[in-house]
Structure 1
Amino acid sequence: MTRTLLPTGSSKLERALAESCQSGQELPILLAALWNADTCPAAVLPYLAWAFSVDLWDENWSEPVQREVIRQSFFVHQHKGTIGALKRIIEPLGYRLTITEWWEEKPIGPRGTFKLEVKTVGQGITEETQIELNYLINEAKPLSRHMIEMNISVEPSGLIYIGVAHYQGEAIHIYPKAVDQ
């Protein structure tokens, strides 16, 4: 019995196509695994990001960051124009974001504006990263809002060794028992 459904009078091209398609059926990767950011092979992540319409992709990001950006893509597209989308698009890159809108300022700022504070932990920001951040923020911010200020602060992290020593002592003198005379 043959492994093809082709009729006996098939051309060489049809038989070659059937054979090559048969080898595709025996691939070790399940198709469902290719559409999941957690189970997708690392080599295919850029294509998955393209399929999920990730706004900005960088091959230099670490693999966990790439997977997290793909995971957050649906939420970001669903909520573009909200503060939640801004946070979800920036935080997978390892930054913390604080947003102050115009009505939260004292005194109240110009209408339709907001300020950002981007906090990094233990890493600085290069000029390319700042351009990347500006692009991502402009993609996810509400169209009716304008960013008037962006503060970038670095929170240093590291180990601090603290040592404490305590010494307490008491002098005790022992004498023989005094004899009463």
Structure 2
Amino acid sequence: MSKDLLPTGSTQLERAASEATVIIGGIRVPLRTLWNPQQCPLPLLSYLAWTFSVDRWDDNWSEATKRQVIADSYRIHKLKGTIAALRHTVEPFGYLIRVIEWWQEDGAPGTFRLEIGASEEGIDADTYFEMERLIADARPVSRHLVGLNIILEAPGEMFTGGVSYTGDTITVYAE
């Protein structure tokens, strides 16, 4: 009995290809690991991101950010178009976000502003533009971003003091 399903008239090339591919069945593929954003090997994360339909991807992101973006992808797509999606889009970068909508401060209808609390390192231009693109993808379509404020809090001691100098000037004239 034959070990392959090739017809009797198969060429020598087809038989060699059949024998070479027999070993593929014996290769163990760890699907649970490959489909888990926290366990997937680093070189395969970009393919996993594509599979999970991650909207924006940058190979220069840190490994932790890549894994978090992939893990949050389902939740972002589920919440896309809501304020929660904006939060989940920006938070993997390690920044805090505050959304101020038009009705909270008498702005133009359908607009919102964002205040992003940056870490001590701040935000470089590339990260700023990347966050702008991510926010544009996740925001509600009926809302328009009119302001993006980056807030940097620098903790430290500050010494203040004050001096007060008062007095009168008297001029004495001879008579």
TM-score by length of 2: 0.79
Please, which moves more after superposition, 24-33 or 71-80? 24-33
Deviations 1:91-114 (A, max 9, x none): 111111110111122xx2111011
Specify the code of the residue in structure 2 equivalent to 1:153: I
Gaps of 5+ in 1: 161-181
Q: Contact 1:6–1:15 at 8 Å: present in 2 too? A: no
Partner Cα distance (2:49, 2:123) in 1? 24
Aligned to 2:102: 102
Q: Contact 1:80–1:141 at 8 Å: present in 2 too? A: yes
Question: Once the 2 structures are TM-superposed, how far is the Cα of residue 16 of structure 1 from its aligned partner?
Answer: 3.1
Match of 1:148 among 123, 146, 163: 146
Partner Cα distance (1:56, 1:92) in 2? 13
Alignment of 1:26-175 (within 5 A): 26-105=26-105, 108-156=106-154
Aligned to 2:168: none
Partner Cα distance (1:16, 1:52) in 2? 37
Q: Judging changes above 3 Å, is the alpha-carbon distance between structure 1 residues 155 and 31 closer, same or farther for their aligned structure 2 residues?
A: same
**CA RMSD across the alignment:** 2.3
Q: Contact 2:6–2:15 at 8 Å: present in 1 too? A: no
Give 3-state SS (helix, strand or coil) of 2:117's partner.
Answer: strand
- The count of corresponding residues between Structure 1 and Structure 2 is 156
Partner Cα distance (1:148, 1:52) in 2? 30
Question: Once the 2 structures are TM-superposed, how far is the Cα of residue 28 of structure 1 from its aligned partner?
Answer: 4.3
Specify the code of the residue in structure 2 equivalent to 1:26: G
What fraction of aligned residue pairs are identical, expressed as a percent? Answer: 44
Partner Cα distance (1:154, 1:29) in 2? 46
Aligned to 2:161: none
Partner Cα distance (2:130, 2:154) in 1? 22
Q: Contact 2:37–2:71 at 8 Å: present in 1 too? A: yes
Question: Once the 2 structures are TM-superposed, how far is the Cα of residue 17 of structure 1 from its aligned partner?
Answer: 3.0
Whether 1:6 and 2:42 are equivalent positions in the alignment is: no
Partner Cα distance (1:157, 1:94) in 2? 17
Aligned to 2:165: none
Question: Once the 2 structures are TM-superposed, how far is the Cα of residue 30 of structure 1 from its aligned partner?
Answer: 1.3
